[in-house]
A and B are shown apart, each in its own frame.
Chain A
Amino acid sequence: MAIFILRRIAQGLLVILGVSLVVFVATRLIGDPVKVMLPLSATDTQRAAFEHQLGLDLSLPRQLVDYVGSLIRFDFGDSLWQRRPAMEVVFERLPNTLLLITCSLGCAIMLALPLGAIAALRPGGIADRVTVFGGLFGLSLPQFWLGLLLILVFAVIFKVLPTSGGGSLAHYVLPAVTLGIPSLARLMMLARSSMIDELNQQYIRTARAKGLDFRQVMIGHALRNILSAFITLAGWEFISGLAGYTVVVETVFAWPGLGLTALQAIQRSDLFLLQAIVFTVAVLIVAINVGLDVAQKLIDPRINLA
């Protein structure tokens, strides 16, 4: 088990290495951070001073060494916009984002499993067709638009929920629903299709031939056996929320999380803050992936320990 986890972590380090390479190439080779970060009116001396301050006047290999050093120390310099260490900003905003994702995904999971399972009982039946259509519908809604519509309906017309910002529990409802609907659709479709596959397995026939009642067959055998696939997808939904969808949703609802901060950093040309966010998210993704692998291993005894 320890070897297994070590191996996954090694693979995760490879991911982080890849991400840092892309960031390095993007910021130092393709783009010109000085041009991006300083206003157009800046003088040449100001530019040179800034370049020196950032270490951009050094040779490329030297820059690479410095860059790797800063990665290891988890130090991404100061945010130009907030004028304080970038990591400080990240840690301040990160909990909001994690809470939002956890809320929306938690609800999505709790709804998706029973809905998918009910649909799978009678493929082609009414419940199934409603589920499939609902799932495809959920997948088709652009989140930024869904969010605006929800604001329009619940905040502007009915005035029952706040339009934006964070704070009370009521503030969670609209962003969480917006973020969760595509996840719910995907999870529900997966629960449905894997449940249908599972119910066609020979061992389910064995369970039925044993005379087990419906509940035992469904929950004790079928549902339990799709958990591994379901948890994997749920983990991926968490990751994709973290790595992108929250940017859109947080922007629409002005949610004070990491995604909104990322967009603000871009608008203010704050490369250091953006770098810090990308790295933090990459590290989180790697951690979640390792966790998922371990969970799968615990559920499915067939997966080889190596």
Chain B
Amino acid sequence: MTSLASPAGAVRKPWPFAALLAELWNDKAAVAGLSVIVLLLLAALLAPWIAPYDPAAQSIASRLTPPAWLPRGNLEHLLGTDQLGRDVLSRVLYGSRASLLVGVSVVTLAGSFGVVLGLLAGFNGGRVEAMIMRLVDVQVAFPGLLLILLVISVVGPGMGTLIVVLACTNWMIYARMVRAIVLGVRQSPYVEAAEMIGCTAGRVIFRHVLPNLTSPLITLGILEFTNIMLAEAAMSFLGLGIQPPATSWGLDVANGRDYVFVAWWLVTFPGLAIAATVLAINLFANWLRVTTDPQEREKRFARAMAAERRRRRRSR
């Protein structure tokens, strides 16, 4: 590291892509997570082509068919049907679209708003900062979900309402993080150096400060995505989110709730889809968080080595 002769110094990108993949491969949980994420994305994109049925198509004749591997089940409905004879597999595939759409829109909206306010606070300081951060403090202490319920009950439920309301109540964490990073970086000597050599404010911001935000924002965005997904599912479950005839995993669990004693598959599969997706994202984000932080990354390696040594000692 200290020697100029080290070949690593000549490489511009600190971590070449192949090495990164190799490192990912070492964490099997993260690999599993990433695979599930890819599958989910494919399912959402290709739902119209891969789903065996129209998710809304009812068929009274084949209502409450159990999954294929159960005695009364058949191969036409792999995961069975609901009380109206709708194919559960198709509904699960289509349901991924709602989760993704709400998640991505809310993270984008709340993220942009929070980042802008965080930047304003971090760069301006003084009164602007005090006002923005006070707003954040106050809103963080709001009775979140209850207030959302109140607003939705007045405005009327729907996907648009849901997105707007969730964005309005989830921007604060971005603002806090962005401000903290901006303040930290602005204190750093290299930013002072940039100002000393006469960089304009814009150059300082874009060239020296903002690049530090990328990787923490990506990690935060991913984690927030899972929170939004769970919130969307919960709201839809309560009947205040996605409205029929559209599909959503939370909505499907609510539909199956009354049949939980006779048809367990109705609540199980959509719920499983939510849990698996969130878990997959969490596992991957956990890996990503460590990997983008050089110090954590070094620690992770050292711990793995120490565990390896302990294992060898024990087996000897």
Contacts and interface: CB of A to CB of B under 8 A. Distances in A.
Contact of B143 (A140, A251, A285): A285
A85 B10 CA distance: 75
Contact of A263 (B134, B137, B149, B268): B149
Q: Which of B142, B143, B238 has most chain A Cβ within 10 Å? A: B143
Contacts of A27: 150, 154
A26 B142 contact: no
A247 B142 contact: no
Contacts of A132: 286
B78 interface: no
A148 interface: yes
Q: Which of A122, A148, A152, A247 has most chain B Cβ within 10 Å? A: A148
A132 B285 CA distance: 13
A177 interface: no
Nearest to A280: B143
Contact of B271 (A12, A123, A149, A267): A149
Contact of A278 (B143, B226, B261): B143
Contact of A142 (B29, B134, B233): B233
Contacts of A298: none
Contact of B282 (A136, A248, A289): A136
A46 B308 CA distance: 78
A269 interface: yes
B204 interface: no
B276 to A, nearest CB: 8
Interface in B284-316: 286, 299-300, 303-304, 306-307, 310
A198 to B, nearest CB: 15
Interface string A231-262: 00000000110111101100110000000001
A248 B142 contact: no
B237 interface: yes
Q: Which of A15, A23, A245 has most chain B Cβ within 10 Å? A: A15
Contact of A136 (B230, B260, B283, B300): B283
Interface residues of B, number: 53
B153 A123 contact: no
Interface string B219-248: 000000010001001100111100000000
Dominant secondary structure at the A interface: helix
A243 B144 contact: yes
B261 A140 contact: no
Contacts of B279: 136-137, 140
Given A136-B279, A149-B268, A248-B237, A124 B303 contact: yes
Nearest to A19: B142
A144 B143 contact: no
A152 B253 contact: no
Contacts of A252: 257
Given A124-B307, A142-B275, A285-B141, A31 B253 contact: no
A122 B306 CA distance: 9
Given A30-B155, A136-B283, A248 B238 contact: yes
Contacts of A239: 141
Interface of B: 29, 134, 137-139, 141-151, 153-155, 226, 230, 233-234, 237-240, 250, 253-254, 257, 260-261, 264, 267-268, 270-271, 274-276, 278-279, 282-283, 286, 299-300, 303-304, 306-307, 310
5 contacts: A26-B151, A122-B307, A141-B278, A156-B261, A266-B150
Given A242-B143, A271-B153, 17 more contacts: A14-B138, A15-B142, A23-B150, A26-B151, A31-B155, A36-B153, A124-B303, A124-B304, A133-B29, A137-B279, A141-B278, A142-B230, A142-B271, A145-B271, A145-B275, A248-B234, A289-B141
